Amino acid sequence: MNNFVKKNWFVCLLIVLFAGISVFYIYDTNKGKLKGKTANGEGVVYSVGDTDVTATDFYNSMYESNGPAALFQKIVTTVADKSVETTDTMKENAKTQAESVISNYATNYPTNYREMLDSQLVSLGYSGMDGLEDYLVNVFKQTELTAQYVKEHFDELQVRNISYILVRFENGDSGEGTPTEDEQNRMAAVDHGLETGTFEDTAKALSEDPSSAPNGGVLGTLDANTTSLDSAFQAAALGLKEGEVSEWVYSSNFGYFRIKCNASTHEGMVKAYREQNSLTEDVEVTDGEIYSDLLNTYDTTLTNKVIWEKAEELGLTFPDPEVEKAVRAYAGMED
Amino acid sequence: MNSMKKLMCAGLALLMLAGCKDATAALANSKETLMTVGDTTVTKGDLYNMMFASVGANTANTDVMNRIAAQEIEVTEEMKEEALNQVQFYTMMYGDQFTEFLDSMGLTEDTYAEKYILPNTLTSKLVEKYTEENFDSLCGSFDPLKAIVLSFTTEDDASAALSALKDGSVTPAEAAKDNNSSSSGSEEVITMNTTSYDSAALSVLRSMSVDDGWTEVPSSDGATFYVLKLVSHDPAEFKEDAVKAISGITAVTNESNEFYLRKYNFHVYDINLYNGLKELNPDILIQDKPAPTPTPSAEAE
C-alpha cells in the first residue's frame, strides 16, 4: 500500500482532493433540503407529539371534508369532455376569458398569482396554470351538455320564459285575496296599459317591482323544478302557453301579478333570447347561452342530474360502495 | 488501475447523492382505483393530489391544533351539549339549506357537532388554558380593566345620562336607552389592545380609580361623548372575564399556538405541505424558527 501511494502520490492527492470537494458539494447542496421521514414503511407528512401522520392518514383527513366533492368534480369534467365536441368558438372564448382570469388573479394576488392559479387548477384535476384554457372550454361544455338536455326534455321540464307586472299590497296582505280600492285602481291602470300598449311598455311604466320593471318585466327562464319563486306565481306561470297573459294572480307574499309567457317552446326561447338581448338574426347563439339563467339561477339541480345520468351512460363504476354512496350524497343523486 | 477505477466509481456515486430533492411523503396504494368514468380511471393517488392542492394546507393547519387541543383539554358534557346546541341553532337559522349541506357531506347533526364544532371549542379552550397559566405576565402586557362605557353622539345626551347615573336613579342600560345611545350598559373588559373606543376615553379610564364613579369624556375629535366608570383594575377580581378577553387577542393566540407547537414538536416532512403552510400560515412552521431565548427569571430558577 505504501509503495502504491509513493508511486502514485499525485493521483492519490487528486483523489483525496476530489473526494473532499465532493463531500463538501453534497453537504452544501443538501443542507437546505427538507428531510423526509417514514413510519411503518410509509411516508410521514408531519408529526406532532408522538403521532406520525402518514400520507394515508392525511388522505383520510382530507377525504372527510373534500373527497366526495373532488371525485364528483372529476366526474363533471370527464363527462363534459367526453360528451361535447370542442368548437372553435369555445376555444376562442376560452382564450379571451383566460386572459381576463389571469389579469384578475394578478391584481388580487400580485406576488403569487401563478401559484394560486396553479393550485386551483390542480384541485380541479388539471396539471396547473397551463390547463386554464382547457378548464374554461370544459365549463362551456358542461353548460352546453345541460342545455342540450333541457332542449330534449323541454316539455317534461315545463320550461317557460316569463315576464310579469306586480301591483303591491297597499298595507300588507289582508288575507282575503280581495284588493282594496287603491289596489283596484292600480290594477285597472295596468289592465288599460295592456289593452292599449305592449306588456313590456306597461311593465316599465307601472310594475311595482323595481328589479324587473326596467327590463320590461322580464323574470327569466324557469321550470317545474324551480323552488325559489312564490308558489302561486309559479303555478300560474307554468300553466301558460307562449304569448298568453294571465288574469290577475293573487300572491299572499307580494300582491297581484299579471304574468306573460314569452316562450313555451325551444324555438320560442331562441326568439325571446334574441329579443331580450337585442341580438340580430346573424348573431350565433348557443343553447348554453339561451338556458344559462335557468341553469345558473332557477334550476341549479339540473346540472348534477344531467352529468350523473351521462356518466352512467358512459359507464360509471365504483369498486367501493361506500365511496359511491358518499359521491352520490354529495351530488344529490342518492338511490 | 482497478483500484483507481473503483475509487472513481465511488466518487461518481457520491456525486449522485448531490441530486437529492426535498422529501415528499409517498401515499401507499396510490394506484388503487376509486372510480371509472368510461375509459378514464381515477386512482387514490389522483384524488390525493387534487385534494392536497385544494385543502391540503388548510387541513393540516386545522388538524395540528385540533390534535394538540385534544391532548391538552378534557372534553366535558357541557362542551358536547354546547356544540350540539350550536348545530341546532344553524338548523333553525338556515333550515333546509343547512340540512341539505349535512346530507351532502354524509353527516348528521351529532357528527357535525363532534367533527367540526367541538374541535373549535377545544382550540379556543387551549388558548384560554395558556392565558390562565401565564395570567400574571399577560396581565402585565395587556393591563386588563373592567369598566362600563356608554357612547353618545351629543354632549347633551351624555350629560343627561351622567346626571341620572350619579343620582343612582337609573341603571347604565336605562341611561343609555333613555338618551339615544345604542350602548348595552354592560360591564366589559378593556385591554391595551382595545380599539373600539377613542384613545382619550381609554386614557382617562386607565388613570381613574374605582371611587371616582361616573365621569364624562369627549373623544379626541369631539364627535363622540363617553360616560364611563371604572369597575375594577385588579384582574384577579374578574379573572374569568379577563382570561376570555386576553385569549381573544390575536398576539396571544399566536403566542399560545407557538408554545404548544413547540411543546409537541410539530414538524413537517413533506415539501408540498411545507410550501402550502408557508403560504397559508408561516407561523406554524416552528421548525424554521429559532428556539425562544430563556428569560432571566427562568434562568435564575
Indicate yes or no: CB of B50 within 8 angstroms of CB of A53.
Answer: no
Indicate yes or no: CB of A70 within 8 angstroms of CB of B54.
Answer: yes
Residue B259 located in a structural domain: no
**Distance to chain A for B299, nearest Cα, Å:** 26
- For A171-200, write each residue's pLDDT tens digit: 877 777 789 999 999 999 999 999 999 999
> Of A314, A276, A268, which Cα lies nearest the Cα of A293?
A276
> Of B154, B180, B175, which Cα lies nearest the Cα of B164?
B175
Q: E strand or H helix at B228, and its extent?
A: strand B225-232
Indicate yes or no: CB of A61 within 8 angstroms of CB of B56.
Answer: no
User: A256 pairs with which residues across the strands?
Assistant: A167, A250
Rounded to whole angstroms, what are the CA distances from B100 to A7, B104, B189, B274? 85, 6, 40, 35
Residue B272 located in a structural domain: no
CATH of the domain at B189: 3.10.50
The pLDDT assigned to B2 comes to 63
Contacts of B207 (CB under 8 A, 6+ apart): none
Q: Is the CB of residue A82 less than 8 Å away from at least one CB of chain B?
A: yes
Is the pLDDT assigned to residue B299 strictly greater than 60? Answer: no
In the stretch 91-130 of chain B, residues with CB closer than 8 A to chain A read: 100, 103-106, 115
Which residues of chain B make contact with A71, given a CB cutoff of 8 A? 34-35, 42, 47
Q: Are B57 and A66 in contact (CB under 8 A)?
A: no
For residues A202, A204, A207, A211, the Cα torsion angle rounded to the nearest 10 degrees is 150
Grid coordinates belonging to B32: 388503487
Indicate yes or no: CB of B40 within 8 angstroms of CB of A323.
Answer: no
Q: How far apart are CA B71 and CA B86, in angstroms?
A: 23
**Distance to chain A for B39, nearest Cα, Å:** 8
In the stretch 110-149 of chain A, residues with CB closer than 8 A to chain B read: 112, 115, 119-120, 122-125
Q: Is the CB of residue B27 less than 8 Å away from at least one CB of chain A?
A: yes
Q: How far apart are CA B225 and CA B159, in angstroms?
A: 9
Indicate yes or no: CB of A26 within 8 angstroms of CB of B17.
Answer: yes
Q: How far apart are CA A48 and CA B69, in angstroms?
A: 12
Indicate yes or no: CB of A59 within 8 angstroms of CB of B27.
Answer: yes
Which residues of chain A make contact with B69, given a CB cutoff of 8 A? none
- For A281-298, write each residue's pLDDT tens digit: 999 899 999 999 999 899
Q: Kindly report the length of chain B.
A: 301
- For B92-144, write each residue's pLDDT tens digit: 999 888 988 888 888 899 999 999 999 999 999 999 999 999 999 999 999 99
Rounded to whole angstroms, what are the CA distances from B237 to B146, B234, B240? 9, 6, 9
Which residues of chain A make contact with B41, given a CB cutoff of 8 A? none
User: At residue A248, what are phi and psi to the nearest 5 degrees?
Assistant: -65, 130
The pLDDT assigned to B301 comes to 38
Pairing of strands B214-218, A160-168: unpaired
Q: Is the CB of residue A44 less than 8 Å away from at least one CB of chain B?
A: yes
> Of A261, A263, A169, which Cα lies nearest the Cα of A209?
A169
Query: Of A67 and B298, which is predicted with more confidence?
Result: A67
User: Which phi-psi region, left, alpha or beta, contains residue B222 (left: φ > 0; alpha: ψ -120 to 50)?
Assistant: left
Indicate yes or no: CB of B269 within 8 angstroms of CB of A30.
Answer: no
Residue B125 located in a structural domain: no
Q: How far apart are CA B119 and CA B141, in angstroms?
A: 29
Residue B161 located in a structural domain: yes
SS3 label, residue B35: strand
Residue B194 located in a structural domain: yes
Identity of the residue in B7, B15, B38 whose CB atom sits nearest the CB atom of A82: B38
Q: E strand or H helix at A260, and its extent?
A: strand A255-263
Grid coordinates belonging to A101: 382570469
Q: Is the CB of residue B241 less than 8 Å away from at least one CB of chain A?
A: no
> Of A327, A325, A303, A334, which Cα lies nearest the Cα of A83?
A303
Q: Are A165 and A192 in contact (CB under 8 A)?
A: no
Indicate yes or no: CB of A23 within 8 angstroms of CB of B54.
Answer: no
Q: Is the CB of residue A279 less than 8 Å away from at least one CB of chain B?
A: no
Average pLDDT over residues A285-312: 92
Grid coordinates belonging to B31: 394506484
Indicate yes or no: CB of B106 within 8 angstroms of CB of A48.
Answer: no
Annotate A99-127 with b (16+ C-beta within 10 A) or e (fewer). eebeeebeeeeeeebebbbbbbbbbbbbe
Neighbours of B298 (CB within 10 A): 9
Q: Are A265 and A273 in contact (CB under 8 A)?
A: no
Average pLDDT over residues A78-90: 93
Q: Kindly report the length of chain A.
A: 335
pLDDT cut 90: percent of chain A above it:
74
Q: In total, how many domains does chain B have?
A: 1
Sheet holding B145-152, edge to edge: B188-190, B145-152, B225-232, B214-218
Contacts of B247 (CB under 8 A, 6+ apart): B124, B127, B128, B130, B131, B253, B256
Q: How far apart are CA B92 and CA B99, in angstroms?
A: 10
Residue B193 located in a structural domain: yes
Indicate yes or no: CB of B36 within 8 angstroms of CB of A316.
Answer: yes
**Distance to chain B for A300, nearest Cα, Å:** 13
- For B52-67, write each residue's pLDDT tens digit: 999 999 999 999 999 9
pTM comes to 0.81
Q: Is the CB of residue B196 less than 8 Å away from at least one CB of chain A?
A: no
Identity of the residue in A48, A73, A122 whose CB atom sits nearest the CB atom of B266: A48
Please provide the DSSP assignment of B39-93 as one string. Answer: TEEEEHHHHHHHHIIIIIHHHHHHHHHHHHHHHHS---HHHHHHHHHHHHHHHHH
**Distance to chain A for B144, nearest Cα, Å:** 34
Q: Is the CB of residue B9 less than 8 Å away from at least one CB of chain A?
A: no
Average pLDDT over residues A208-231: 94
> Can you give the residue range of the structural domain that contains B216?
142-237
Query: Of B254 and A9, which is predicted with more confidence?
Result: B254
Indicate yes or no: CB of B18 within 8 angstroms of CB of A37.
Answer: no
Domains along chain A with CATH numbers = 74-150+302-331 (no CATH), 154-298 (3.10.50.40)
Residue B286 located in a structural domain: no
Q: How far apart are CA A82 and CA A158, in angstroms?
A: 28
Location of C-alpha cell 372534553: B75
